[in-house]
């Protein structure tokens, strides 16, 4: 009896153990799955089945199952999900800019006005507007006949003085006045380059830096024009013709053109080009000095430093003394400029500044498309250029609120944390403790820049950023551009008396008009534009398998970029150095050969490099494993009713494939090849052993 009971107990124990093992093996198949009720979740299910071709066999062709009915007949052959995202984004922004925004922050209202001004802009008013703007500096000598040839600048008090006597005269043309207006209102760093930067020596302060002037593409031709060839001569003559063309547009008849003055202006610009080119070869270090010492670098005061700089900073009520710190760069350029100015008339210099203004701002109207569709695209790009942060504020307020942002951030954190806790799945870290620690340190430093920076959500911060821009509701398109640029310049100039603060991020990171995602290697940030985070890439109410299959695999891919071959060149502090261990480097070479052998048929396909293939494969893997781990620790998971016949794992892989839907099915082969060599995919769809899986790990 005792033996029988012992056998019974043992048999029961074995049975329970087998049941436990079977449950564990079945993964999420026995997980309690409910039906979601939210409209967003239900919409994600309808979106998924919309393009499914249920007649396709996932094991042989997952892409066709996921994208079989994805074809937009009225669109080009290469039309894809990314194009659809871009179109949706543009429609959303156009709708927002066209609605009443009286309750929005002032910068948002200004952006809307700017956009409408651009749509209504007529190229024919350009000449009149340019002429009116130039009247503020006494007109443009090429179209005016009443300019007097005057002036040098009195270095003691900044007043104008006659070039023939010490008696002060009223000047109608003065190149220093032209330069001050150009620098403060037109963003024209022409002839003299100056900016307010963070002091390299004292990182908590700003300093005035004198550097090379703004480069012009014609300079490559002009600096070589002494070596006369037919090609160079033709380019120079074409350049002169463009000047004459604008002069004619602005009212001068062909017979009244001052061709001699045009020749002198081009000759002056040629000397600037040669001085600029020579200065680039100057390897001398930047020099710290005072304003008083800078003044002395121009013995005859041909570069009136004191007058020019005091006038420029006077526009923002900043007084410069002769002890003001200056950082002078490319000193050889300014030594040569002093010589050039001593042999060039005031009229020629003023005419040159006027030409730079006309060519730069007249071009804004020349570039305006005539047809409505392209005009809208152009005006959106222009609005983004000048009001990127305001546009982003407007968009996220309506379409990508803090809840959506936080949910993406949670996915980023979940996948990153999973990888940190499971670094043994990375071959390079498995048996190299030091490499494992280095990878962990870098992964821990990675942050997500999801949609926008924190300050964009704060109304007062956005308004402060654009506070120097006047209300230009009564201004036309070009006038509104000048107002924006003037505001930006005033903000820059005021920094000279401010404490250093963290600069506003680059407006293009992430761009409001872009549908981008990438890993910013230098700043260790996973960057996702708000326009990119739309269905089918991301839906804040979509169930776990949909979001982890799509945006999750992209996040996984971008995290891998931090530790792969390219990521090895920048350490956890953003410093440019190779941080891999010797063994880690050797292991990578071995592992990459495995990927090259297994995935050789898709390396090079659609310009896909081996490194990109590794990121795609490993990104999919860590997203799936993080998703599986998350589901295993969740009480229940809810999915849309429309896709309830698919398992969670199957939904994950279908969602992954649907990111690549396109009319030309160009990603069909890579998608199918990647999943066929992934064991969990074959298990999810119960594929027969036709898909020979060989594991490769980074």
For residue range 404-449, list pLDDT tens digits in order.
889 999 999 999 999 999 998 888 888 889 999 999 999 999 998 8
Q: What pLDDT shows up at residue 77?
A: 87
Q: What pLDDT shows up at residue 329?
A: 94
Q: The whole model's pTM is what?
A: 0.79
Mean pLDDT of 655-672: 92
DSSP string, 294-306: HHHTSTT-SS-HH
CA atoms of 529 and 518, how far apart (whole Å): 9
Higher pLDDT, 168 or 573: 573
Q: What pLDDT shows up at residue 377?
A: 87
Residue 591, Cα to own-chain centre: how many angstroms? 33
Mean pLDDT of 244-273: 83
Residue 453, Cα to own-chain centre: how many angstroms? 13
CA atoms of 18 and 14, how far apart (whole Å): 6
For residue range 475-501, list pLDDT tens digits in order.
778 888 888 888 889 989 999 998 877
Higher pLDDT, 330 or 155: 330
Mean pLDDT of 5-17: 52
In the DSSP assignment, the letter for residue 289 is: E
pLDDT greater than 60 at residue 78:
yes
Q: What pLDDT shows up at residue 605?
A: 78
Q: What pLDDT shows up at residue 502?
A: 65
Contact, 105 vs 90, CB < 8 A? no
Provide the Cα torsion 158, 162, 163, 165; round to 10°: -120
pLDDT greater than 90 at residue 136:
no
| CATH code given to domain 35-70+400-453+505-684 | 3.40.390.10
Distance from first CA to last CA of the chain, Å, rounded?
58
Q: What pLDDT shows up at residue 6?
A: 55
Three-state DSSP state, 685: coil
Higher pLDDT, 583 or 14: 583
Q: What pLDDT shows up at residue 506?
A: 54
Contact, 391 vs 404, CB < 8 A? no
For residue range 47-60, list pLDDT tens digits in order.
999 999 989 999 99
Higher pLDDT, 157 or 267: 267
Q: Which of 642, 404, 641 is nearest to 535 (CA)?
A: 404
pLDDT greater than 70 at residue 29:
no
Tokens 């891919």 correspond to what residue? 557
Q: What pLDDT shows up at residue 166?
A: 31
Order of strands, sheet of 193-198, starting from the edge strand that comes earlier in the sequence: 193-198, 206-211, 325-328, 287-290
In the DSSP assignment, the letter for residue 662 is: B
Q: What pLDDT shows up at residue 253?
A: 61
pLDDT greater than 60 at residue 254:
no
What is the 3-class SS of 234-261, one letter each residue? HHHHHHHHHHHHHHHHCCCCHHHCCHHH
Q: What pLDDT shows up at residue 696?
A: 82
Does CATH number 1.10.3470.10 belong to domain 124-366?
no
Higher pLDDT, 136 or 238: 238
- The confidence band for 112, taking pLDDT boundaries of 50, 70 and 90, is confident
DSSP string, 536-598: TT--TTS-HHHHIIIIIHHHHHHHHTTTSTTGGGB-TTS-BS----HHHHHHHHHHHHHHHHH
Q: What pLDDT shows up at residue 646?
A: 93
pLDDT greater than 80 at residue 127:
no
- The confidence band for 623, taking pLDDT boundaries of 50, 70 and 90, is very high
Q: What pLDDT shows up at residue 311?
A: 94
């Amino acid at each position: 009896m005792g033996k029988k009971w012992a056998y019974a107990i043992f048999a029961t124990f074995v049975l329970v153990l087998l049941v436990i093992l079977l449950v564990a093996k079945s993964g999420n198949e026995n997980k309690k799955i409910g039906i979601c009720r939210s409209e967003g979740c239900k919409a994600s299910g309808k979106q998924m089945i919309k393009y499914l071709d249920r007649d396709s066999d996932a094991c042989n062709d997952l892409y066709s199952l996921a994208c079989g009915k994805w074809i937009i007949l009225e669109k080009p052959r290469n039309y894809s999900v990314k194009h659809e995202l871009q179109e949706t984004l543009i429609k959303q922004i156009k709708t927002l800019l066209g609605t009443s925004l009286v309750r929005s922050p002032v910068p948002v209202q200004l952006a809307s006005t700017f956009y409408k001004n651009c749509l209504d802009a007529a190229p024919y008013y350009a000449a009149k507007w340019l002429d009116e703007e130039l009247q503020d500096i006494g007109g443009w000598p090429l179209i005016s006949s009443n300019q007097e040839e005057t002036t040098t600048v009195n270095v003691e008090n900044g007043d104008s003085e006659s070039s023939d006597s010490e008696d002060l005269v009223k000047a109608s043309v003065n190149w220093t006045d032209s330069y001050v207006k150009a620098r403060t209102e037109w963003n024209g760093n022409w002839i003299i380059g100056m900016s307010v930067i963070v002091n390299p020596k004292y990182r908590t302060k700003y300093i005035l830096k004198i550097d090379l002037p703004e480069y012009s593409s014609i300079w490559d031709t002009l600096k070589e024009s002494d070596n006369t060839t037919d090609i160079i001569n033709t380019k120079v003559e074409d350049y002169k013709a463009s000047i004459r063309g604008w002069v004619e547009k602005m009212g001068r008849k062909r017979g009244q053109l001052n061709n001699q003055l045009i020749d002198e202006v081009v000759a002056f610009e040629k000397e600037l080009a040669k001085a600029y080119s020579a200065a680039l070869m100057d390897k001398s270090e930047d020099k710290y000095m005072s304003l008083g010492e800078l003044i002395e670098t121009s013995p005859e005061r041909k570069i009136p430093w004191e007058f020019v700089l005091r006038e420029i900073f006077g526009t923002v009520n900043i007084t410069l003394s002769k002890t003001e710190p200056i950082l002078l760069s490319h000193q050889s350029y300014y030594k040569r400029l002093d010589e050039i100015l001593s042999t060039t008339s005031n009229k020629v210099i003023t005419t040159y500044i006027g030409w730079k203004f006309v060519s730069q701002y007249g071009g804004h109207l020349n570039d305006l498309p005539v047809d409505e569709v392209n005009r809208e695209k152009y005006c959106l790009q222009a609005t983004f250029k000048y009001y990127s942060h305001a546009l982003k504020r407007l968009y996220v307020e309506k379409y990508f609120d803090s809840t959506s942002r936080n949910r993406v951030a949670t996915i980023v954190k979940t996948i990153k944390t999973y990888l940190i806790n499971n670094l043994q799945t990375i071959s390079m870290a498995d048996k190299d403790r030091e490499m494992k620690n280095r990878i962990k340190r870098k992964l821990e430093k990675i942050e997500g820049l999801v949609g926008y920076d924190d300050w964009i959500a704060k109304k007062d911060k956005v308004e402060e950023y654009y506070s120097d821009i006047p209300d230009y509701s009564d201004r036309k398109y070009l006038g509104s551009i000048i107002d924006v640029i003037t505001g930006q310049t005033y903000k820059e100039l005021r920094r000279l008396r401010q404490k250093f603060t963290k600069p506003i991020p680059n407006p293009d990171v992430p761009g409001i008009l872009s549908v981008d995602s990438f890993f910013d290697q230098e700043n260790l940030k996973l960057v996702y534009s708000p326009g990119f985070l739309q269905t089918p890439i991301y839906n804040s109410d979509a169930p776990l398998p949909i979001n982890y299959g799509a945006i999750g695999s992209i996040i996984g891919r971008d995290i891998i970029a931090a530790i792969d071959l390219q990521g090895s060149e920048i350490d956890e502090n953003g410093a440019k150095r190779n941080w891999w261990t010797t063994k880690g480097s050797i292991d990578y070479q071995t592992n990459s050969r495995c990927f090259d052998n297994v995935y050789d048929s898709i390396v090079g396909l659609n310009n896909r490099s081996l490194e990109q293939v590794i990121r795609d494969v490993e990104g999919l893997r860590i997203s799936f494993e993080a998703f599986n781990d998350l589901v295993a620790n969740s009480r229940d998971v809810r999915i849309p009713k429309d896709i309830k016949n698919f398992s969670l794992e199957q939904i994950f892989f279908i969602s992954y494939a649907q990111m690549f839907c396109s009319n030309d099915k160009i990603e069909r082969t890579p998608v199918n090849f990647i999943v066929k060599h992934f064991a969990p995919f074959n298990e999810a769809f119960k594929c027969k052993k036709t898909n020979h899986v060989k594991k490769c790990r980074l």
